[in-house]
Structure 1
């Protein structure tokens, strides 16, 4: 093999190197998106959503305005970005459930796991209570939050309907999904109120776990066993 051929082979990255490079780029994008969102949320909490401009977010995050829009097509997307406001949230909880586990127990177990691990997905972060207040006080954000909640229920209902082979006129997938959406709503309300009261994350998590235990007793047996895998 000539030196030219060897050099040509060395100049071409292997498949593993290409995959690694793509993974690093994706991670860099995730870090940039999270950084911009966290900077924006801090500004919104400090001064109010309506008072902060995209240009101010870009300047504070030390990126260009175009970069902000690349990751967040609208100002509302800075508050509800995909990693933490996914309408697929409950579907993902249910889709990976164990054999013998129902949809309701999959959601309850997933929420309990997030609480025990202090996951930011359930709001166990400083300022979560203020964040909820800001969202509810700003009409465009309140509408977006409600829309995400409805879409989450709709997607889970479609998932349950497909899994169980339910007829198009069967109300059970939608009703069960709505019940599980209500569970999440009550959980976040509890966490938000306790965060605003200044309680530490450990205390909040314990109270939230107790709330889930109580909520589980309120769910009808038919809901708790529906769509058992």
Structure 2
């Protein structure tokens, strides 16, 4: 029985691995083309040809052209809500998010905005990517509002968690933009990290009068 079961148990894993490899290949090839010739000027057909796959294969893996670039978007949208849901005992939402951002900045995490000058320039030069990034910030804030509602026992959609999420989301959005600005100004990640950690301390501190004890675990 062990011999018969092993192939059937292994094949789904192999298929999933192959899918992930294909997805990563397409993303890597697309990113190379976008950096070389610009996002707006690169077509899906060109990406498919360069990756040696069918055009439909590209669109099956990536429903939007922007998804080929912003491949951390799921983690990005969930990041703030996940931090609140996983906050430590006695820790407020503000404290948890402040700590998480400091850790992300110290680790130059791409989800926090560390992308390198070429990538940052590609985003800045593309109206499509810039618009999609704004959408992702909005989606992240909405997910945070739901997490704050759950954390405080408040019905989702009510004004208090939405307002708190807007304030906390604004700080994160501003810090993300700051990282991009400093990247485009030619600063390296180590210097940017030091700068934004200090600036984050000040920015989050501005919210303490209203949110210091909000959504404490």
TM beyond 0.5: yes
- Determine which of 140, 152, 177 is the counterpart of 1:164: 152
8 Å Cα contact 1:101-1:228 kept in structure 2: yes
2-side partners of 1:119 and 1:27: how far apart?
Answer: 25
How far 1:27 sits from its partner (Å)?
4.7
The change in CA–CA distance for 1:168 and 1:189 in structure 2 (over 3 A counts) is closer
Please provide the CA RMSD for this pair.
2.5
Does the CA-based 8 Å contact 2:123-2:129 persist in structure 1? no
Q: Does 1:186 align with 2:174?
A: yes
1:21, distance to aligned residue in structure 2 (A):
5.8
Larger radius of gyration: 1
Indicate conservation of the 8 Å contact 2:171/2:203, yes or no: yes
Q: Secondary structure at the match of 2:53?
A: coil
1:4 — aligned with what?
A: none
CA distance in 2, matches of 1:210, 1:79: 29
Unmatched 5+ stretches in structure 2: none
Structure 1's unaligned 5+ residue stretches are 1-7
Give the number of equivalent residue pairs.
Answer: 216
Query: CA offsets per residue over residues 21-48 of structure 1, 9 Å max, x none?
Result: 6556545434432332233233223322
The DSSP-based 3-state class of the residue aligned with 2:193 is helix
Q: Is 1:208 equivalent to 2:196 in the alignment?
A: yes
Shift of 1:167: 5.0
TM-score, with length taken from structure 2: 0.86
Task: Specify which of 36, 43, 56 is matched with residue 53 of structure 1.
Answer: 43
Deviations 1:116-141 (A, max 9, x none): 1222222323224313313xx42x33
